[in-house]
Structure 1
């Protein structure tokens, strides 16, 4: 894609480095694109104009909504609350199964959008009666400056922020952003680098680094793993993933196995069989992960939270609705075992 149009809303891109002539390297994500003058990056949100890199994903969300926080999914972070959610166009992945491809694979210049500057996002969230904001739907890394400024203002106003991401972000931008993040759900696509490249256009190691950094920075973290038939539903790979998570201190991190449905460029594949999802959950629990869920398939009733000690149900969910909450001051109401999460 070639353009010098910065659109109505734009901002100087963070983490840029001048290279040869008027070419600029972007250091926000591990693609580390070298962008020539008049060109855009893989994400379609970085434009090189006269040797300077700009973000054209700033103040122009293409999607905003009020969602249940369980939809993100976040099951151990303010359960039952509503969250103001937004996205701009663009993404640094090319997932063959993307469910939001109409916006993720577009440029911000190609879509209708709202005019909503960072301070307006915060005001809009408050007006809707929520103190939670999620950067979601596409990939918030590609509208990094918008996320950063909005999250900073949100924290100044006492709101909390959530980062729903593929985790493909360089370490310094993530470290700089993390003081203004309260929670994240990272989509760990699989545990095989070749499949990452083929299915998503990314790489595994940077995502693992993101998980470690968020944990170290004490951002509440949950992980999603979508089981795509013939790509990411291999039990051996799931075992290796779960072992890595436990070995690296993520046994208390909720893990959501999600059902695939045919979409975008994978319309020829069937939905994930129920059996595959149940097996994945069993593998994760056997490995030592304490909170494991199955999403996108209500019939299996695997979205409830159970105390890892007494095994009693402490959070009952139907779809995105909390039916019963037996967590008291962060502990199981029955046996007083602390339950990992952010409850108030």
Structure 2
């Protein structure tokens, strides 16, 4: 890792960290397990990290694909201050090559014009305060590739009492992982499937580094963690694969980690695959619960039973949801069941009102 850079004078020309020179003169990016080896002026697979001479530049620093205020449940995070508002943004590019990408117009973009809004960290933190957001989320594309920008935003947010949330595939190198998650308060990690064959065929990546990120988050940090698996019909929805994933989570991370099974819709390079039936999501949820997981959810569908948080002891409904909307909330401010006083895993506080399931675009200037 190279020394931390000084702030850039303008967006898009920020010196990146996490690289070293190879004996043959190429520059190796150490941000993620791809280890892109770059000649002068080449960009990495993520497209937003570029070698210029003896420097690595993060061309997406201070440049966003747009800002929106979302409900925190949309990330999805069901156990991290439910009902609160989160200011969400991403950049262009991605370090995975998912054929099923649901945000491909942003993550796969190589047109820097996609980065419509320029905003430096202080401006983002101030906007979160002004709009009544409890947190800022790095999402839409993977914040791994704009790690330095995300970490600076997180620092600015923490100074104002705003929390930082990463929505990520977890494909990250060891040093960058330590630095990045030291700044985060919560993370939702996309566990794309549970075989290396699936990762290779459909994401251009590997499973093991993601599992290492999940283990690191659980055992080496205080970051609140939830996991999402997008179920694609015929690709990663076999019973044994779902059971194997749930067993691994229970054994390696614990039974209190919330797991979200979300519905696929045809997009990007997989338009010939049908949408995920609600019955598939409900069945996957049932299997994961049978393997011992306490909090398993369905997403991207109207399924009140699958979206509701139940008491782990008496099984009474505590947070009733339909899609991202909270219809009833009975948790105490400390996160306990009011009937049997059992604790629910998560981060909770005084619940005033639900932000709602609407998305509100906002503009943030430099």
- Please report how far the alpha carbon of residue 81 of structure 1 lies from its aligned counterpart in structure 2 after TM superposition: 0.6
Q: Is the counterpart of residue 26 in structure 1 residue 26 in structure 2?
A: no
For residues 10-31 of structure 1, the C-alpha deviation after alignment (integer angstroms, 9 at most, x for no partner) is: 2111111012454211111111
Q: Is the counterpart of residue 115 in structure 1 residue 129 in structure 2?
A: no
Structure 2 gaps, min length 5: 1-9, 350-366
> Which residue does 2:54 correspond to in 1?
51
Q: Is the counterpart of residue 337 in structure 1 residue 342 in structure 2?
A: yes
> Which residue does 1:104 correspond to in 2?
107
2:215 maps to which of 192, 212, 215: 212
SS in 1 for 2:117: coil
> Which residue does 2:288 correspond to in 1?
284
> Which residue does 1:3 correspond to in 2?
none
| Structure-1 separation of matches of 2:54 and 2:91 | 24
Query: Cα–Cα, structure 1 residues 94 and 254, in superposed 2: closer, same or farther, change >3 Å?
Result: same
> Which residue does 2:306 correspond to in 1?
302
| Structure-2 separation of matches of 1:159 and 1:297 | 30
| Structure-2 separation of matches of 1:180 and 1:80 | 23
| Structure-1 separation of matches of 2:27 and 2:183 | 27
> Which residue does 1:186 correspond to in 2?
189
> Which residue does 1:133 correspond to in 2?
136
User: Which deviates more from structure 2 when the two are superposed, residues 185-194 or residues 45-54?
Assistant: 45-54
SS in 1 for 2:306: coil
- Please report how far the alpha carbon of residue 253 of structure 1 lies from its aligned counterpart in structure 2 after TM superposition: 0.6
Question: In 2, are the aligned partners of 1:60 and 1:108 still within 8 Å (CA)?
Answer: no
TM-score norm. by structure 2 comes to 0.90
| Structure-2 separation of matches of 1:62 and 1:161 | 18
Q: Is the counterpart of residue 230 in structure 1 residue 234 in structure 2?
A: yes
Structure with larger RCO (C-alpha < 8 A, sep 6+): 2
Question: In 2, are the aligned partners of 1:22 and 1:51 still within 8 Å (CA)?
Answer: no
For residues 103-126 of structure 1, the C-alpha deviation after alignment (integer angstroms, 9 at most, x for no partner) is: 101136242421101111101111
SS in 2 for 1:77: coil
| Structure-1 separation of matches of 2:39 and 2:197 | 28
SS in 1 for 2:284: helix
| Structure-2 separation of matches of 1:332 and 1:320 | 21
- Please report how far the alpha carbon of residue 250 of structure 1 lies from its aligned counterpart in structure 2 after TM superposition: 2.6
SS in 2 for 1:167: coil
Question: In 2, are the aligned partners of 1:22 and 1:50 still within 8 Å (CA)?
Answer: no
Question: In 2, are the aligned partners of 1:23 and 1:48 still within 8 Å (CA)?
Answer: no
| Structure-1 separation of matches of 2:305 and 2:267 | 24
> Which residue does 2:155 correspond to in 1?
152
> Which residue does 1:273 correspond to in 2?
277
User: Which deviates more from structure 2 when the two are superposed, residues 35-44 or residues 314-323?
Assistant: 314-323
| Structure-1 separation of matches of 2:112 and 2:282 | 42
Question: In 2, are the aligned partners of 1:64 and 1:86 still within 8 Å (CA)?
Answer: yes
- Please report how far the alpha carbon of residue 279 of structure 1 lies from its aligned counterpart in structure 2 after TM superposition: 1.6
SS in 1 for 2:246: helix
Q: Is the counterpart of residue 259 in structure 1 residue 277 in structure 2?
A: no
Q: Is the counterpart of residue 325 in structure 1 residue 329 in structure 2?
A: yes
> Which residue does 1:87 correspond to in 2?
90
- Please report how far the alpha carbon of residue 179 of structure 1 lies from its aligned counterpart in structure 2 after TM superposition: 2.3
Give matches, 1:59-70, under 5 Å: 59-70=62-73
> Which residue does 2:225 correspond to in 1?
221
Question: In 2, are the aligned partners of 1:259 and 1:297 still within 8 Å (CA)?
Answer: yes
| Structure-2 separation of matches of 1:108 and 1:127 | 31
Structure 1 gaps, min length 5: 1-6
TM-score norm. by structure 1 comes to 0.95
For residues 219-251 of structure 1, the C-alpha deviation after alignment (integer angstroms, 9 at most, x for no partner) is: 000000111112111111111111111111331
Number of equivalenced pairs: 338
